[in-house]
Structure 1
């Protein structure tokens, strides 16, 4: 039988005439010392579980107290959560406080011994603590991991959770009862809260990155491959999966899985070209066809005009745009923007002449040239003499006849 001056310990209660404290029912506890009956039992705080504990109150994080619970000297738990009970409500008054003192200390009020039960049976073992990670414990919970209270797919519940929380965008869960969310896998994006690989009603699965895109790990939204690149395959993970636009083509827009078209005649597209007719040479070597060259449609690199021709202008589109070397000049090399030089005295250069050919056919000493001219004149004189001789012979025959 409880005696005067003996305090009934929390979280049990002591009815009049009881020899020991009685335990509150599972899922309840008495939040303060001096409980007088079942009416002083309160539902276990959300985030905790209570299994008939006569010798200790709930411990761990609390997200709120039930209606009517002790509220003096409040202490905060989770940000934005309701006020929880003070430590003194669970542990008794601190030493030196009115009515305080250590349990069993001489001169202070004594606490009744715990361990009794209301029905007079064996004492209940105190089992009180935070809810198991992956599960949530609403107010009045008596189990730390009730299978019916698992965090559903798309949500998570750290230890001591009063309720599950949706995974934020950019994260997901692979199954139920998750203690934390995982980063959205590379090649996918998670643009909604509460996404899961095992979706239930109202929960979506991570979305695959489409062609023309890439999605690093933890992506909330997909990233488009920039202009000048393409990605022909889904589930791209990094910018490196966006391949350079192929040579001879241009890729004008972002988020494409193939080239926009072929490079225009008069221009060359080396790689990563964003225009069919790049007007200036860029860092990737794309630009207008340079002088001395020509560029048909789809040209990756300019084609040099052949020797014996030259091209002084930009944007030549075909070989016919290469101009023949001027008469009296020679064009020795390919890719010339102007003739190499004028023919030297004593030489002649026909239209389209190359110097190498000129040197092989026309280069002779002046004396040799004079002798050759004399020989040609002598031959011509012989021919003329023979012609005259034949002519006069015919006339003479006619006269005699």
Structure 2
């Protein structure tokens, strides 16, 4: 079959059959798109349910009885796309991301929502970005619609940070985490893709119309459904498989126990993408789903953008380990720290008393106390040493002084008061 014929057949099938249909996917893979189109339109070699569904759409489209249903539908689709400022992409086009073909792996017998997960026949796009190129380094950010202030903060910060790191942020354009992630990516001057569960001409939900319009101008709007299609509950769940397949990994931020975002994470695991979850407060109903998913094998806990990049980025893009705030005494070696712990804060004590308290030799105490004084940790007086009220540590850029060499007496080491004992 010539590429043009394959493209026309896939476009027509995308109009006539609900996205994700496994029966259609198996048929196309076995006999090709053109023969599959002939069978579904003719109603032979397919199930009664699929034949009935196709006939209903053929009648509704006004091409019933046409000698070439596929060509007529494809021409209408191209005209409609041009009128809407959109374009149609199929698996035979250069702009098609091969990652979507992995959805064949997600097809499983059983529940209809789980079973009908085949790759799209075609997608409608609106926006200046190239589909495949935009998804090469991408992360999906999903979660609850009714987010808390915590969820809004995390979604915004993650999306902004990912955009700054050159990652495309993909989400579903819905309320809550989705739209917050889109806004964060746009604020970070990054690329963002909204995968819709309705026609490309529908701004759903209406509250997000302005953001979706901006994404269509600067990013990319994507949908499998033809213009005029309204969103249904099952279509959101079907849409989620594309969000998971298109990206290198999925981050879930806030999700209730029945959140649809959990299906996206499940698809990510099934497709061997990285499934990541941001934990929330353990007493928050909006984080119950997150915590349940964190107990699933293969799920990665993330708390920073750097950790997300480490999971989906190139080899060597490692997150910097989290460390506590630096303290002046961090420059000390274990022996010096032990001696410093034994110095009293207000009452001066001798080196021998400090050594006894610390459990070290008098020699070690006498060697290191002058260094601690030089660093500003202790001050000395006629009665011995006490803690300084303002330890300064080493001067920036200057290594901390090392302990003086042991084993010999000399001008570098002061003589101890009270004789030679301990030297």
* Higher normalized contact order (CA 8 Å, seq sep 6+, divided by chain length): 2
Relative to total residues, which structure has the larger helix share, 1 or 2?
A: 2
Q: Which of the two has higher C-alpha Rg?
A: 1
Same fold (TM over 0.5): no
**Range of TM-score over shorter length:** under 0.3
TM-score scaled by length of structure 2: 0.24
